[in-house]
Chains A and B, each alone.
Chain A
Amino acid sequence: MDDLVIELFIGRDPQDLIDLAAKHQHLYQRNLSTVTTKVRSKDLVRALEIVSEQNRPNFEVPVDMELIQRDVMKIIPILQASFPRAEDLFELFLRRSNRHIQFLSIMYEQQSKEPLDTAIRKSGLSQIARDVCIHAVRTATNMTYRDAMLLRNALLTVGTKKGKLAIAIRVIRMQFYKRHWMQIKAEFVGVTGIDFRSKMNNLSEGVFRDLMSAMARV
């Protein structure tokens, strides 16, 4: 469930979040922020609270290079700490625009000689905080790679009911955007060395296999 919360809310375009909140209120007469009450992880609750403020600048806002430099100087010691505070990173990755995070990622890699998402993965953050930060960074820097990795991770557990549900949700959400979906499938081959279509053709179950194969072929 935490994975789904991250995929639905983290790194999302600010306008999409506003639209979703409005539609949710209209359809279900319920505030979208009630999702926070269903989440157990404190880190994820904090991330959702920041996201629900809906004040992240959009892609068109020009970036401030001095601010990026200051952010890089903040991130380096946080990621090197034994017990980093997730909130410090959320303040950067969930409040800055995607363009800002793109530049931030480039400058971080120049200075620390390591990709930002790799450094986050190796850090002492909790698993959920790591997932939130990596999702935010990859959304800004390489959404195709992000989605290919999400598919790869879901396929690791495709033998279980939970795994099948995860792969169904991810594939459905990705295939709506046909060009993006083609890029993900190409990236998937690059990441795993396996063709996504043949992977789906090899699923055992009848209707589910037909459904996934049809989407993989589009």
Chain B
Amino acid sequence: MTPPEQPIPLPPIAIATPNNWHLFQRPYQVDSGCRHGQTPGYPHLLQDVNRLAIALQSGIELKYRDTQTLIDILVQRSIYENDALRHHYRDWCKADLGMLMSQTFSQAETHVKVALIGLAIGPALFDLWLINNVLLRPSI
């Protein structure tokens, strides 16, 4: 008698988002689709992390082309991909993307700084950031 088939364990990195996942998203939802215990991912994630790390290396001496790189990468991301990017950036570069963005653009004009921080941290954290930095403790 053959033993019953064992379930195949899932790999630790699960790309759980179908390409058209955003079609079914409710606007302004806090939940990005990333589940606890799951390592989010998307194709070309590693290249994006690498490009971001190189662009942000220049610190406050950020050049125009580096800002353009940040824009090119971050604007295209869905909220799930945004979570994935932040998660992997923290793991591999040992830095929080939102904090790094805040430090790098500390001298920039408020609206530019706010926009770049928002792009880097995603909708839920951006709402919290706005509550804390604009409403409760106006520091920008």
Contacts and interface: CB of A to CB of B under 8 A. Distances in A.
B134 interface: yes
A20 B30 contact: yes
B9 interface: no
Nearest to B75: A214
B30 A177 contact: no
A218 B136 contact: no
18 contacts: A8-B135, A16-B30, A23-B128, A24-B131, A27-B128, A35-B131, A161-B109, A165-B110, A168-B118, A172-B118, A173-B123, A176-B79, A176-B123, A177-B28, A207-B64, A210-B67, A210-B68, A218-B75
Interface residues of B, number: 42
Nearest to B62: A207
Interface of B: 22-23, 25-31, 64, 67-68, 71-72, 75-76, 78-79, 82, 108-112, 114-116, 118-119, 122-128, 130-132, 134-136
B25 A179 contact: yes
Nearest to A164: B111
Interface string A1-33: 100110010001101100110011001101010
A149 interface: no
A45 interface: no
Contacts of A34: 136
Contacts of B109: 161, 164, 205, 208
A16 B79 CA distance: 15
B26 to A, nearest CB: 7
Contacts of B132: 24, 27-28, 30
Contact of B23 (A23, A179, A207): A179
List the 9 closest pairs (A to B, CB-CB), nearest first.
A172-B118, A164-B111, A180-B27, A168-B111, A168-B115, A19-B30, A177-B27, A176-B123, A16-B30
B124 to A, nearest CB: 6
A102 interface: no
A180 to B, nearest CB: 4
A173 B125 CA distance: 11
Contact of B135 (A4, A19, A175, A179): A4
Interface in A147-179: 161, 164-165, 167-169, 171-179
B56 to A, nearest CB: 15
Contacts of B28: 12-13, 16, 173, 177
B108 A5 contact: no
A38 interface: yes
Contact of A19 (B31, B67, B114): B31
Contact of A169 (B72, B82, B112, B114): B114
Contacts of B127: 8, 20, 173
